[in-house]
Amino acid sequence: MAMEFDEVRGVLLPLHDSIGSKSSSHKENRDDWNAKVKEFLNERNEINRHVKELINEVQTQKAIRDEINQKVKELKDARAERSEHLKKVREMLRAKLEEQREGPGEQTRRRRGPPLSKIREDMERLEMSHMTGRFSGGERAFIKKMKELSEALKEATEAQRGGGMRDLKDSVREAERLQEDAHKSVEKAVTRAQEAHELMVELSDEVDRLREKANGAHNSLTKSKREADSLHRQYIVSLRCIHSIQDMVKAMDLREKKEDGADGEEKVELTDLMTRLMSGEDLSTDDLMALRRN
């Protein structure tokens, strides 16, 4: 039996050492892959955090762009109104210039009103009549007539000075300034909206790029975890094999110790039986059977 146990030990002990070496290798490789799992996990989570921040910024830039685009629409409406006003005052100015090119007689005929001197004479005559009490129309009639003559005097004066040409030119210049300001406001708002749009597109492209990178990190994470789990299973199997071999060797050692102890007890028992037999002591049937076996 001892020879058989030695042969078994000759097989098991080298196998124990070989499996132990592989087990250490499995454990080391598993730990390396677990470190990679942690690395890829941190990388993926960091990228996803950055992606979330960029998405929020994209939404912010989109809101800014939409708000500015609405402002652009309002500014374009204001510019259109000012352009229309500029068009009208320019037409008025051209009409006045056309009148100036005509002769004084033609201008007078087009105005169809009394000359400036005649209006002044009428005003002086009316005022004198009112002061001397010769005006019979009453106070309200006097005021109405004087107002009509004042309006006629104003029109005649403007006609004599060029039909309000200076005011028209000033109006044209002011309308041009307002139209130009409105146009610049539109251009500025359009530029800001375009900048917000371009930034939004740039951020969206960066989000797509980072998402692809995050997917790559996740795939590497999955692969690393799969490798780590496989090595861990191999490591556990190796440990179980090692423990099984150790248990088998311990069992053989214990069996040998028991067998060695049993042989010693049988020798002591045989000596005792022989001593009792030589002294003439009667032996039982079991004792005799034991002597026979030995």
Q: Is residue 222 part of a domain?
A: no
Q: Mean per-residue pLDDT for 137-147? A: 82
Q: What is the pLDDT of residue 286?
A: 61
Q: What is the pLDDT of residue 32?
A: 95
Q: What is the pLDDT of residue 98?
A: 80
Q: Is residue 261 part of a domain?
A: no
Q: Which residues contact 157 (CB under 8 A, 6 or more apart)?
A: 116
Q: Is residue 117 part of a domain?
A: yes
Q: Are 114 and 155 in contact (CB under 8 A)?
A: no
Q: Are 93 and 169 in contact (CB under 8 A)?
A: yes
**pLDDT tens-place string over residues 152-185:** 887 777 665 555 677 778 888 888 898 899 999 9
User: Quick one: pLDDT band at residue 283, thresholds 50, 70, 90?
Assistant: low
**pLDDT tens-place string over residues 194-214:** 999 999 999 999 999 999 999
Q: What is the pLDDT of residue 13?
A: 86
User: Quick one: pLDDT band at residue 189, thresholds 50, 70, 90?
Assistant: very high
Residue 191: pLDDT above 90? yes
Q: What is the pLDDT of residue 160?
A: 59
Q: What is the pLDDT of residue 194?
A: 93
Q: Is residue 209 part of a domain?
A: no
pTM of the predicted structure, to 2 decimals: 0.51
Compute the residue count for the chain: 294
Residue 1: pLDDT above 50? no
CA distances from 110 to 103, 131, 266 (A): 11, 35, 159
33-60 burial: b if 16+ Cβ within 10 Å, else e: bbebbeebbebbeebeeebeebeebbee
Sign of the CA dihedral with 236 first, then 241, 245, and 247 last: positive
Q: Is residue 258 part of a domain?
A: no
CA distance 55 to 61: 10
Query: What number of H helices and E strands is found in the chain?
Result: 6, 0
Where is pLDDT greater, at 60 or 133? Answer: 60
Residue 28: pLDDT above 60? yes
Distance separating the N- and C-terminal Cα atoms of the chain: 19
Q: Is residue 125 part of a domain?
A: yes
Q: How many domains does the chain have?
A: 1
Residue-range definition of the domain harbouring residue 134: 75-200
Q: Is residue 116 part of a domain?
A: yes
Q: Are 57 and 273 in contact (CB under 8 A)?
A: no
Q: Are 113 and 153 in contact (CB under 8 A)?
A: no
Q: Is residue 55 part of a domain?
A: no
Q: Mean per-residue pLDDT for 254-264? A: 66
**pLDDT tens-place string over residues 62-113:** 999 999 999 999 999 989 998 898 888 888 888 878 877 765 554 444 455 6
Q: Mean per-residue pLDDT for 287-292? A: 52
